[in-house]
Amino acid sequence: MWKSWRFWVGAVISAFFLIIALRGLDLRLVWAVAKEANYWWILPGVVAYFIGVWARTWRWHYLLRPIKPISLKSMWPVVVIGYMGNNVYPFRAGEVIRAYVLKKKEGVSISASIATILVERIFDGLVMLLFVFVALPTAPGLPSWLRQTVILASLAFFGALLVFLIMAALPKTFRRWYEWGINRFVPGQFRDTLLVLADRFMEGLISLTSPKDIFMVFLTSVVIWLLETVKYWFVMHAFDFSVSFFALMLMNGVVNLATTLPSAPGYIGTFDGPGIEILKVFGVEGAIAAAYTLVLHAALWLPITLLGFYYMIRESLGWQDFDKAVQAKEDIVEEQIEDHEPIEPDPRQPPSLTQSSPEQEGL
């Protein structure tokens, strides 16, 4: 990891945001404020957060149903390991780790899992934007960079969702397009591999063909992020300041949009800088805002990471497994190709790439 260019790019971006976060602050005063906090308030916040992680597990279980029904009990440690991976590897590598662990445990192809995870991230982004738009009227004044970020993020997430919805609605059309592109522009030895990966990815979008599924995933995403905001609210009570729940929704939305940027492991800087700036907008003194944000960041990072390490040991996984997933070695791709067999479609779902209806043939 230390030799990867991705690590160093993330480290530079994290350093930039940390400089923004801590500039002009008396770090001794920040430390003094942190020492005086009532840390018992973190406990109910952790409980709320883990209820949210359970909701994340249910959402992923729901998205994977058309591919393979998997119990929540089996999926819970996989989700926790994945979020631990996000905290210890740069570039959200935990998402690939999550797909890799599910492949080992349940035989679900990595490409299909990645497709469902991308759907999760799109809905997370949309909910973050919803939080920002709902809370903006309560803010006394926001810097221009924040408004520009919200506009760009809105275009990106709504655009991605639109593309995925079209892909899910017209699977045969998109297969013709990417099959043509792969056969025309990709060297022959790689064509079969890319076609398999593309087909598996399309299978992971099956849930987006159902309005009910889209609604359920969106509703679950709202619940997940409201529960995380509840943790923000509990941790706030450990410090000597008070802002509205809407202000914390705005902070939650902005910091999580910022953490989509490359950063050092654990979202160092990309979480802290925007969080401190948002609290300052609501009149929170800089040292208090910094102490709260840094403690909140640690309270979000530590519990899920420790539990992820526990499940990693229990599942007999080693760092070499994670390195294999992060580096996307060829043997993972080959494993998907060897296991590439038609998936029996769920009769409750619309036909997918493995089964076409006359209506789809005409699209």
Rounded Cα distance between 83 and 61, Å, is 16
pLDDT average, residue stretch 232-254: 94
In whole angstroms, what is the distance from residue 317 CA to residue 104 CA? Answer: 10
Q: Can you give the pLDDT at residue 135? A: 85
CB distance 252 to 131 below 8 Å: yes
Domain boundaries, the chain: 5-331
Give the separation between CA 98 and CA 357, rounded to whole angstroms. Answer: 33
Long-range pairs for 42-48: beta carbons < 8 A, 24 or more residues apart: 42/234, 42/235, 42/238, 42/295, 42/299, 44/234, 45/230, 45/231, 45/232, 45/233, 45/234, 45/235, 45/299, 46/231, 46/299, 46/303, 48/227, 48/228, 48/230, 48/231, 48/234
* pTM for this entry: 0.79
Counted residue by residue, the chain has a size of 363
- Check: CB of residue 22 under 8 Å from CB of residue 14: no
Q: How much is the pLDDT for 163?
A: 84
- Residue 48: is its pLDDT beyond 80? yes
As a whole number, mean pLDDT of residues 329-343 equals: 43
β strands within the chain, DSSP E: none
pLDDT tens-digit profile of 94-126?
Answer: 888 899 899 888 988 888 888 889 889 888 988
Label residue 331 by pLDDT band (50, 70, 90): very low
pLDDT of 89 above 90: no
Residue 271 tokens, joined: 């979480």
What mean pLDDT value characterizes the chain? 82
Question: Which whole number is the average pLDDT over 79-84?
Answer: 94
**Phi–psi pair at 268, nearest 5 degrees:** -60, 130
The pLDDT-based confidence of 4 (bands split at 50, 70, 90) is: low
pLDDT band of residue 13 (cuts 50, 70, 90) is: confident
* Nearest by Cα to 288 from 235, 252, 234: 235
